[in-house]
C-alpha cells in the first residue's frame, strides 16, 4: 500500500467507528484486515497505528483543532480526516511535504490538501507532541468532560499522571495454566518458537511478552499451557482464594477467563459453576476449558441475575450444602480500566450508561450474595476506576447486608498472592509479595500508572457464620 492508501484506510476505519452501530475498534480493524488481502503486515500495522493513535489522543487532537480553528469551521464537529491530519503531524512527526505526497488525490488516496489544511500544517510545524501546559484536564486525559471530572474526584492532584498512563499501549500478558505446567516450562516452550517473555512483577502465574507475537498458532497455546490474561485480571482471580475441593460460582463468567484461572487454582478438584446471561459467551468458554484441561466446570446460562436457579440454590430446600464457598462477581461495568486496549470505549460511554450499570451491579451483588455459604466469600471485581462502580457499591451493599463484612485486602493478598509469590521464580516489584494497597485498605485498586496493569478494583467480602 502507498502512504496515501494507508491514510485512506485509516480515515475509512475512523469514520466507521463513529457510527452508532460501530463494533469495537479491535474488531473493526480485524474485519478490515481480513477484507484487505492486498495489505501486508506492515500496512496493517501502519493503519492500526494511525487509528489507535487518533483514538488514544482524540481529546488533545480536538483541542488542537479548536485552538488553530482552521481544519474546521466554527460549530463544525471534527471529522476523521481532520483528526488524522493532526495525528500525522503531532503523533508521527509528518510535515507538509509528506502530507502532500500522501493526500494527493490519486487512486486509493485521500483528496489533496486544501489551502486551509496546508496553513494549519505550517502552524503546527514547530509543535512537538500533543502536550501544552494550558490544556485542561479533559484534553490531557483524552476523555470526555464528564469522565475527566471524575478522574479529578478519584485521584485529585494525581489525576493527570493516572490519566496519561492510559494512553500507552497495553503489554501482552499470559497466565500459565498450572494444570499443564509452570512458568519455566511455558517460557521454554515460547522461547523454542522464538517468543521472548519475562515473569510479571506481581502475579506469580504471569508472563509478559517482550513484544507482540501471534500466540494462537504456538504449541504452548494449543496445548493449553498459556492463556492471554492481563496481570491485573490474574490477581483478581487469585484473590478469590478458590481452593481444591471448594464449591465456587463465577457469576458473570463471560467467555471464561477467570473461570479458567479458578479451575487451575483448584487443581480440578471441587465444583465450579460458570454463569452468564449470554449463551454464546459460555459456548466460547467451553472451547477454552477443554483446551486448558479444566473438567470440573458446569456452564449455566441465566435468564437474568435473578434466574430461578439462583433462587433454588439459595433456598432453604437446597440446604446449606447447596451454597458456595466462593462467589466471584466480575461485574459488568463501563470498562474504564481497559482504555489502553479499548481507547474508543471512552468516547462511546455516556453518563447515563454509568447510572444504568451501577443499578445493574447492585442487583447482581444482591442476587449473588444469596449463593454465599456462611463463612464463605463474595468477591466483587470491576475493570473500572470509577468510584460509583467500586467503593460506592461496596458501601451500599454492606449497609444493606449486615451479615457481610469486608476483609482487609492486605490479609487476603498475604494468604493468596503473597503465599504464591514465595514459591515463584522471582520476587515481584511489590517486594516479596506485599500488597500494593494502602495500609488498612478494604479493597484493592490497580492502575497502569502504579502497577502497569489494566485498571481493576477488587473487594473481598465475608459472610458471617451467624
**326 vs 36, which has greater pLDDT?**
326
pLDDT in tens, 365-399: 999 999 999 999 999 999 999 999 999 999 999 99
Predicted confidence at residue 316, as pLDDT, reads: 58
CA–centroid distance for 359 within its chain: 21
Instruction: Identify the residue whose cell numbers are 505446567.
Output: 181
CA–centroid distance for 287 within its chain: 22
Backbone CA torsion sign across 4, 5, 9, 15: positive
Looking only at the bridges linking them, the beta strands covering 324-330 and 372-382 are parallel
Q: Which three cell numbers stand for residue 263?
A: 479451575
**DSSP-derived 3-state class of residue 273:** strand
Band of pLDDT at residue 459, cut at 50, 70 and 90? very high
Most confident region among 64-78, 104-118, 181-195 by mean pLDDT: 181-195
Predicted confidence at residue 318, as pLDDT, reads: 46
- Measure the CA–CA gap between 350 and 263, rounded to whole angstroms: 36
- Closest by CA to 345, choosing from 382, 391, 384, is 384
Instruction: Identify the residue whose cell numbers are 489502553.
Output: 340
Band of pLDDT at residue 423, cut at 50, 70 and 90? low
| Residue 457 and residue 394 in contact, taking contact as beta carbons nearer than 8 Å | no
Q: Which three cell numbers stand for residue 438?
A: 494502602
Band of pLDDT at residue 317, cut at 50, 70 and 90? low
Band of pLDDT at residue 76, cut at 50, 70 and 90? low
Q: What is the DSSP letter of 390?
A: T
Predicted confidence at residue 321, as pLDDT, reads: 56
430 pLDDT higher than 60 = no
Predicted confidence at residue 185, as pLDDT, reads: 95
Band of pLDDT at residue 63, cut at 50, 70 and 90? very high
- Measure the CA–CA gap between 197 and 180, rounded to whole angstroms: 18
- Measure the CA–CA gap between 298 and 285, rounded to whole angstroms: 11
Predicted confidence at residue 107, as pLDDT, reads: 87
Element (H, E) at 155: helix 145-155
Q: Which three cell numbers stand for residue 310?
A: 439462583
pLDDT in tens, 109-163: 999 999 888 988 888 988 889 998 899 999 999 999 999 999 999 999 999 999 9
- Measure the CA–CA gap between 230 and 430, rounded to whole angstroms: 17
Q: Which are the contacts of 309, defined by CB distance < 8 A and separation ≥ 6?
A: 275, 300, 302
- What distances in angstroms separate CA 101 from CA 71, 106, 385, one per listed residue? 19, 10, 43
- Measure the CA–CA gap between 224 and 291, rounded to whole angstroms: 5
Question: What average pLDDT does the chain have?
Answer: 91
Helical axes 257-265 vs 231-239, angle rounded to 10°: 50
Per-residue DSSP letters for 28-74?
HHHHHHHH-TT--HHHHHHHHHHHHHHHHTHHHHHHHHHHHT-SS-T
Residue 98: φ, ψ to 5°: -65, -35
CB-hemisphere CA count at 13 Å for 295? 4
- Measure the CA–CA gap between 388 and 384, rounded to whole angstroms: 10
| Residue 306 and residue 364 in contact, taking contact as beta carbons nearer than 8 Å | no
Domains of the chain, each with CATH number or no CATH: 3-131 (1.10.940), 173-227 (3.30.70.1170), 229-463 (3.40.50.150)
pLDDT in tens, 346-359: 999 999 999 999 99
| 307-335 mean pLDDT | 84
Predicted confidence at residue 75, as pLDDT, reads: 54
How many percent of the chain have pLDDT more than 90?
A: 75
| 217-229 mean pLDDT | 94
Predicted confidence at residue 71, as pLDDT, reads: 54
Predicted confidence at residue 441, as pLDDT, reads: 93
Indicate the range of 123-132, 147-156, 409-418, 426-435 predicted with least confidence: 426-435
Band of pLDDT at residue 212, cut at 50, 70 and 90? confident
**427 vs 89, which has greater pLDDT?**
89
- Measure the CA–CA gap between 226 and 7, rounded to whole angstroms: 36
Predicted confidence at residue 67, as pLDDT, reads: 86
Q: How far apart are the first and last CA of the chain?
A: 69
Predicted confidence at residue 35, as pLDDT, reads: 84
- Closest by CA to 292, choosing from 228, 381, 353, is 228
Amino acid at each position: 500500500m502507498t502512504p496515501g492508501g494507508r491514510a485512506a484506510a485509516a480515515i475509512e476505519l475512523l469514520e466507521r467507528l463513529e457510527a452508532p452501530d460501530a463494533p469495537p475498534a479491535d474488531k473493526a480493524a480485524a474485519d478490515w484486515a481480513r477484507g484487505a488481502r492486498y495489505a501486508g503486515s506492515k500496512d496493517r500495522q501502519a493503519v492500526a497505528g494511525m487509528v489507535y493513535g487518533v483514538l488514544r489522543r482524540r481529546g488533545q487532537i480536538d483541542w488542537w483543532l479548536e485552538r488553530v480553528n482552521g481544519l474546521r469551521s466554527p460549530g463544525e464537529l471534527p471529522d476523521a480526516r481532520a483528526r488524522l491530519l493532526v495525528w500525522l503531524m503531532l503523533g508521527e512527526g509528518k510535515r507538509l511535504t509528506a502530507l502532500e505526497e500522501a493526500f494527493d488525490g490519486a487512486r486509493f488516496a485521500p483528496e489533496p490538501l486544501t489551502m486551509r489544511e496546508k496553513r494549519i500544517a505550517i502552524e503546527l510545524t514547530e509543535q512537538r507532541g500533543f502536550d501544552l501546559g494550558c490544556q485542561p484536564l479533559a484534553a490531557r486525559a483524552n476523555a470526555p468532560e464528564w469522565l475527566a471530572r471524575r478522574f479529578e474526584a478519584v485521584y485529585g492532584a494525581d489525576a493527570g499522571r493516572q490519566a496519561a498512563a492510559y494512553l500507552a499501549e497495553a503489554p501482552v500478558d499470559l497466565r500459565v495454566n498450572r494444570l499443564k505446567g509452570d512458568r519455566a516450562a511455558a517460557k521454554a516452550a515460547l522461547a523454542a518458537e522464538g517468543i521472548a517473555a519475562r515473569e510479571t512483577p506481581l502475579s506469580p502465574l504471569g508472563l509478559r511478552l517482550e513484544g507482540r507475537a501471534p500466540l494462537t498458532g504456538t504449541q504452548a497455546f494449543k496445548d493449553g499451557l498459556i492463556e492471554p490474561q492481563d496481570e491485573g485480571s490474574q490477581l483478581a482471580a487469585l484473590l478469590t482464594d478458590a481452593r481444591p475441593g471448594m464449591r465456587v460460582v463465577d457469576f458473570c463468567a463471560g467467555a471464561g477467563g477467570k473461570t479458567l484461572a479458578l479451575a487451575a487454582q483448584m487443581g480440578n478438584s471441587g465444583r465450579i459453576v460458570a454463569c452468564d446471561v449470554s449463551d454464546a459467551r459460555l459456548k466460547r468458554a467451553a472451547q477454552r476449558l477443554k483446551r486448558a484441561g479444566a473438567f470440573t466446570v458446569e456452564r449455566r446460562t441465566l435468564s437474568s441475575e435473578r434466574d430461578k436457579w439462583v433462587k433454588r440454590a439459595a433456598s432453604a430446600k437446597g440446604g446449606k450444602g447447596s451454597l458456595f464457598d466462593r462467589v466471584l462477581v466480575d461485574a459488568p461495568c463501563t470498562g474504564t480500566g481497559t482504555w489502553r486496549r479499548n481507547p474508543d470505549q471512552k468516547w462511546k460511554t455516556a453518563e447515563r450508561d454509568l447510572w444504568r450499570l451501577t443499578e445493574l451491579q447492585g442487583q447482581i451483588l444482591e442476587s449473588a450474595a444469596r449463593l454465599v455459604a456462611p463463612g464463605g466469600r463474595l468477591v466483587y471485581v470491576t475493570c473500572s476506576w470509577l468510584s460509583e462502580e467500586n467503593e460506592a457499591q461496596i458501601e451500599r451493599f454492606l449497609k444493606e447486608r449486615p451479615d457481610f463484612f469486608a476483609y482487609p485486602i492486605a490479609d487476603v493478598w498475604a494468604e493468596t498472592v503473597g503465599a504464591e509469590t514465595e514459591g515463584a521464580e522471582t520476587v515481584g516489584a511489590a517486594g516479596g509479595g506485599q500488597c500494593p494497597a494502602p495500609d488498612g485498605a478494604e479493597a484493592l485498586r490497580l492502575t497502569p500508572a502504579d502497577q502497569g496493569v489494566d485498571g481493576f478494583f477488587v473487594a473481598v467480602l465475608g459472610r458471617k457464620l451467624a
